[in-house]
């Protein structure tokens, strides 16, 4: 079409650069920070040297401070159309904002002006003189679309590394807004025409209007003819939308990953740059609303940029800077345990309430890699009433059938859920995006509205003035959805009120992508698992010591430990998808946390047991282990009959403790496993514990994905290089050495006295690239479904592939255990740090069924960390034949380190005791408000209705049901004392009780 070509040339050749009428130079000096970033006051005190446009600057991850002086020429006239700005080009390129150089501008007094990024590369100049300091961040370009290409930029650069950027522009500019306005008119109306079906009346009239506009504009007298040209387009832009047009509630947003292709310290600065841009935009556009999640990010701003935080607080009060989500960070939801998943909301929402007096009402997780079926209940118990995500639109195989629906969790709780059909959390509000949202929306029959978060994320600067202009022009435009600038709450109230009889999605929302994040960066996952367990221990024993021994409760230390732990559960840290810098810092902080928590635990237990030589076991698990009740410190039970280790014919050994009989072959693999009933667990002719090394070349996202085609080939490590058998202490062990490539593996099968399970441990020196190590356990079990532990319960999944949805779940998550069974018999496999599993079944020639559990042990991706998972690892598993779900949980807690050996003068009875082992005490702690009240969180674990007698040994306490934020629930359960409380819980119900020790009443919801 000639009009399209004519328009393209006019915009590119004449209009796009016409807004800058005049430019004037500025004077610059600079100081290069020798190490990590420094505060403004430190930088300003340094000696600055000459610096000019054209100079190269910034080795990777370095910082350059630039002082800029400039005088506005006296002949520049500001009026209603013209303004003065500093325009900047730090050496930007075409990659998306947030993945290259950025800057933050300060006034000479150290207060923040705004950020600078590729799509927001200007500073306002209000007076006749500019005096500013710019903190330039030489963040290297690590394109997320690199996928599998290794990068050396994921660690601090050497002092002699070459500069990455060249300063291309830094000058004052006189801007004429009329050219900008015409350009924005054209972008919207021509963009709309491109989305309309060719030949429709509306499309034809738009192209005709654009043709007439081009006739009206005079390139030789641009500013003299712009108003006439805009007048030609005005009728096309004023034509109202159809009565049935879809409505999009557009809310400003900036999805900032708390770490990813940059370290945590850089996220702190990305937040300051973005939020300062947002504040500037809010002050210029009163109708704009900006939605901000993640309490941690605002806590960073409060600590490092107090003036910026004060401005944010003002806009929160005005209802324009809108707090959403309520979590400490936007976490992964598959890998964290139950209490950690709850604490994301407890810690985040309490922080928002303390700092802003605002309670968030939604959970906002646009970019997380799948959503646990435990979440709906946790969301509602936190006081939130709806859920938003975007990531499910990335599914490889199946399309979610709804955009607005009720999501039902494992306990039956439902929460209103929305997937924005615009299918991005970085929208620009272009006509193409809006048309996509309207075409994609699956609920037109029952709903008229959807949500669109818009703005550049990850340090890209958030919403821009161009995006706001697009929203205004498309507020009521024929052929386009209506756009309303608003808040997520505006969307929710309208959408939830339109049709309460929404469709229901039950169970997990499985992301058919990024399955490798269940396995990548094992050290980070192990650190998290151990810190979570020790946080539980520390709270339990510190609470018991506070009540029984009047030991001061370390509330602040535990709160800080939780905040640090929750940060490290961010959805690009715990899943293993960040640069090396991030994971090395996470491992170091996990180690520090373990040390700090261990000191709290030891001090608390010593206060309870006193000095003495009694050999005791402290059992912090919610189930009895080693004969010690849950939550008790006592002498362990007798260990049972000794283990025998005898040769099995010419090849292998038999391990037997009277409860379990295991036969291990000459290669160190299980060929027989029987419980006391004598039933065989291992499939005929198969071997359990077999290790295979698969090629691991995902189609796209290296650290993120495991694709089905890994199964096409494998190296079988069934043959051992060396095998030894011995009894060490009271434990019988078969140790097999194996090798593959440059890696070595020592696999040990062992049996302890009194144990109902065989332990399998791996010591791996892993030196591979693009390889996946998996362990397989083929079982003689006809299992239609597997059961896997998730937060506060377990989830059943089919073992067949009847549908495309079933087939897509070829890698599933389990926390501490997975169980497969048939009526009357089952086998549990527990782990100490493995999350990625597969369960498949096949019919044998003898007519029987083999159900094989596969466990993904280690990976070796090279992007974004080229050395991911290389090095030494220790991993533990337990295989328990004849096990039910309770026995599976016992093995999981045993491997998780829920018991510790101590010495003291006396045993300690549990502070909290549940008579039904399937009503489990998850958490015992003191209240977050410092009142000294005891908080008890328990849940029903079997998936059935259970009644228990709960004994709470807190003298004089009145017991109330509370929400996760420890506030009374209207109509909730109340008890005069904690002695013998009878509770009936529905399947997988979570219940939190507050034991008021001093107060006569509790905080209201």
What residues are annotated to the active site? 367
Beta strands in 791-941 (DSSP E): 793-798, 812-813, 817-822, 825-831, 836-843, 849-858, 871-881, 899-904, 912-914, 919-926, 934-940
Q: Say if CB 605 and CB 546 are below 8 A apart.
A: no
CB burial of residue 162 (10 Å; 0-12, 13-18, 19+): exposed
In this structure, the dihedral spanned by the alpha carbons of residues 338, 341, 346 and 349, taken in order and rounded to 10 degrees, is -160
Distance CA 896, CA 889 (A): 10
Residue 152 CA: distances (Å) to CA of 35, 704, 850: 18, 19, 45
Q: Say if CB 418 and CB 388 are below 8 A apart.
A: yes
For the stretch 371-401, what's the b/e string if a residue is b when 16 or more beta carbons lie within 10 angstroms of its beta carbon? bbbbbbbbbbbbbbebbbbbbbbebeeeebe
DSSP for residue 13: I
Q: Say if CB 531 and CB 523 are below 8 A apart.
A: no
Nearest to 154 by CA among 905, 881, 876, 865: 865
Distance CA 1002, CA 852 (A): 51
User: Among all chains, which residue has been given the structure tokens 């947030």?
Assistant: 98
Q: What are phi and psi of 243, to 5 degrees?
A: -60, -30
717 Cα distance to chain centroid: 35
Nearest to 485 by CA among 496, 497, 469, 498: 469
Q: Is the peptide bond before 864 cis (omega within 30 degrees of 0)?
A: yes
Distance CA 58, CA 39 (A): 18
SS3 content of the chain, % helix, strand, coil (to 5): 25, 30, 40
Distance CA 50, CA 67 (A): 10
DSSP 358-373: ----EEE-TT-S-B-T
DSSP 928-957: TTSS--EEEEEEE-SSS-EEEEEEE--TT-
DSSP for residue 119: T
Nearest to 875 by CA among 836, 832, 829: 832
H-only helix segments in 318-412: 338-356, 375-381
Distance CA 660, CA 882 (A): 10
Distance CA 703, CA 696 (A): 10
Non-local CB neighbours of 344 within 8 Å, separated by 6+ positions: 327, 328, 329, 331, 336, 566, 569
Nearest to 622 by CA among 940, 902, 884: 940
Angle at 611 between CA 605 and CA 614, to 5 degrees: 85
Question: What's the 3-state SS for 654-666?
Answer: EEECCCCEEEECC
Strand partners, 680: 674
Give the pair of three-digit tokens for residue 256.
């900032």
């Amino acid at each position: 079409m000639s009009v399209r070509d004519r328009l393209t040339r006019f915009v590119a050749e004449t209009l796009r650069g016409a807004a800058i009428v005049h430019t004037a130079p500025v004077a610059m000096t600079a100081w290069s920070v020798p190490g990590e970033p420094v505060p403004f006051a430190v930088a300003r005190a340094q000696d600055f040297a000459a610096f000019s446009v054209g100079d190269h600057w910034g080795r990777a991850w370095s910082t350059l401070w630039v002082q800029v002086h400039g005088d506005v020429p006296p002949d520049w006239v500001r009026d209603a159309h013209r303004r003065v700005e500093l325009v900047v080009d730090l050496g930007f390129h075409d990659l998306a904002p947030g993945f290259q150089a950025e800057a933050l501008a300060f006034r000479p007094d150290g207060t923040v002006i705004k950020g600078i990024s590729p799509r927001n590369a200007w500073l306002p100049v209000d007076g006749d003189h500019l005096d500013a300091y710019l903190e330039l961040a030489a963040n290297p370009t690590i394109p997320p679309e690199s996928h599998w290409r290794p990068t050396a930029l994921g660690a601090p650069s050497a002092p002699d590394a070459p500069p990455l950027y060249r300063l291309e522009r830094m000058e004052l500019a006189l801007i004429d807004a009329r050219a900008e306005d015409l350009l924005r008119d054209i972008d919207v109306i021509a963009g709309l025409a491109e989305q309309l079906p060719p030949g429709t009346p509306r499309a034809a009239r738009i192209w005709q209007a654009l043709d007439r506009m081009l006739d009206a504009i005079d390139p030789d007298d641009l500013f003299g003819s712009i108003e006439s040209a805009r007048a030609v387009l005005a009728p096309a832009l004023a034509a109202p939308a159809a009565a049935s047009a879809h409505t999009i509630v557009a809310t400003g947003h900036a999805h900032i990953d708390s770490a990813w292709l940059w370290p945590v310290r850089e996220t702190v600065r990305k937040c300051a740059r973005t939020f300062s841009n947002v504040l500037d935009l809010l002050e210029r556009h009163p109708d704009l609303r900006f939605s901000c999640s993640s309490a941690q990010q605002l806590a960073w701003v409060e600590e490092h940029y107090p003036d910026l935080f004060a401005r944010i607080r003002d806009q929160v009060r005005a209802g324009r800077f809108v707090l959403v989500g309520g979590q400490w960070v936007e976490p992964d939801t598959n890998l964290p345990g139950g209490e950690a998943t709850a604490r994301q909301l407890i810690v985040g929402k309490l922080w928002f309430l303390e700092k802003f007096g605002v309670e968030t009402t939604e959970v906002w997780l646009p970019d997380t890699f799948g959503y646990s079926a435990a979440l709906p209940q946790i969301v509602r118990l936190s006081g939130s009433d709806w859920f938003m995500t975007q990531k499910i639109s990335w599914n490889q195989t199946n399309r979610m059938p709804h955009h607005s629906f009720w999501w039902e969790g494992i306990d039956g709780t439902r929460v209103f859920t929305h997937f924005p059909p615009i299918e991005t959390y970085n929208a620009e509000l272009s006509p193409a995006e809006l048309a996509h949202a309207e075409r994609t929306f699956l609920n037109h029959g029952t709903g008229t509205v959807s949500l669109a978060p818009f703005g550049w994320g990850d340090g890209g600067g958030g919403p821009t003035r161009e995006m706001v202009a697009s929203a205004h022009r498309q507020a009521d435009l024929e052929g386009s959805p209506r756009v309303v600038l608003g808040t997520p709450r505006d969307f929710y109230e309208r959408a939830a009120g339109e049709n309460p009889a929404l469709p229901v999605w039950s169970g997990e929302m499985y992301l058919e992508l990024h399955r490798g994040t269940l396995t990548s960066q094992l050290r980070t996952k192990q650190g998290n698992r151990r810190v979570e367990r020790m946080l539980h221990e520390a709270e339990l024993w510190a609470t018991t010591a506070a009540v029984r021994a009047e030991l001061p409760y370390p509330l602040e230390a535990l709160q800080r430990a939780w905040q640090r732990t929750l940060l490290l559960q961010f959805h690009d840290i715990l899943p293993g998808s960040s640069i090396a810098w991030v994971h090395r810092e996470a491992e170091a902080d996990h180690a520090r946390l373990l040390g700090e928590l261990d000191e709290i635990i030891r001090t608390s237990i010593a206060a309870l047991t006193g000095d003495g030589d009694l050999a005791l076991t402290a059992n912090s698990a919610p189930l009895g282990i080693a004969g010690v009740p849950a939550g008790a410190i006592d002498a362990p039970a007798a260990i049972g009959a000794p283990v025998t280790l005898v040769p099995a014919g010419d090849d292998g050994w038999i391990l037997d403790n009277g409860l379990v009989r295991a036969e291990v072959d000459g290669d160190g693999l299980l060929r027989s496993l029987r419980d006391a009933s004598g039933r065989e667990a291992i499939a005929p002719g198969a071997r359990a514990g077999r290790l295979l090394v698969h090629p691991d070349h995902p189609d796209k996202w290296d650290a993120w994905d495991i694709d089905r085609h890994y199964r096409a080939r494998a190296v079988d490590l069934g043959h051992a290089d060396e095998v030894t058998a011995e009894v060490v202490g009271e434990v019988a062990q078969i140790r097999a050495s194996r090798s593959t490539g440059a890696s070595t593996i020592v696999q040990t099968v062992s049996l302890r006295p009194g144990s109902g399970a065989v332990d399998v441990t791996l010591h791996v020196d892993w030196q591979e690239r693009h390889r996946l190590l998996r362990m397989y356990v083929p079982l003689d079990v006809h299992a239609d479904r597997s059961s896997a532990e998730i937060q506060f319960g377990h989830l059943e999944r089919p073992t067949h592939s009847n549908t495309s949805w079933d087939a897509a779940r070829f890698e599933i998550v389990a926390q501490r255990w997975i169980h497969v069974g048939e009526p009357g018999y089952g086998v549990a496999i527990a782990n100490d740090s493995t999350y990625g599993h597969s369960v498949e079944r096949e019919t044998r020639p003898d007519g029987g069924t083999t159900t094989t559990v596969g466990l993904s042990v280690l990976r070796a991706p090279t992007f974004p960390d080229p050395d991911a998972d290389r090095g030494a690892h220790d991993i533990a598993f337990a295989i328990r034949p004849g096990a039910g779900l309770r026995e599976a949980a016992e093995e999981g807690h045993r491997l998780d380190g829920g018991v510790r050996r101590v010495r003291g003068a006396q045993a300690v009875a549990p502070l909290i005791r549940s008579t039904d082992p399937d009503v489990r005490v998850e958490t015992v702690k003191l209240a977050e408000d410092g009142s000294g009240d005891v908080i008890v969180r328990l849940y029903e674990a079997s998936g059935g209705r259970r009644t228990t007698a709960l004994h709470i040994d807190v003298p004089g306490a009145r017991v109330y049901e509370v929400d996760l934020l420890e506030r009374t629930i209207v109509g909730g359960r109340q008890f005069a004392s904690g002695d013998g409380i009878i509770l009936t819980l529905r399947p997988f119900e979570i219940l939190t009780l507050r034991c008021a020790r001093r107060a006569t009443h509790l905080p209201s919801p």
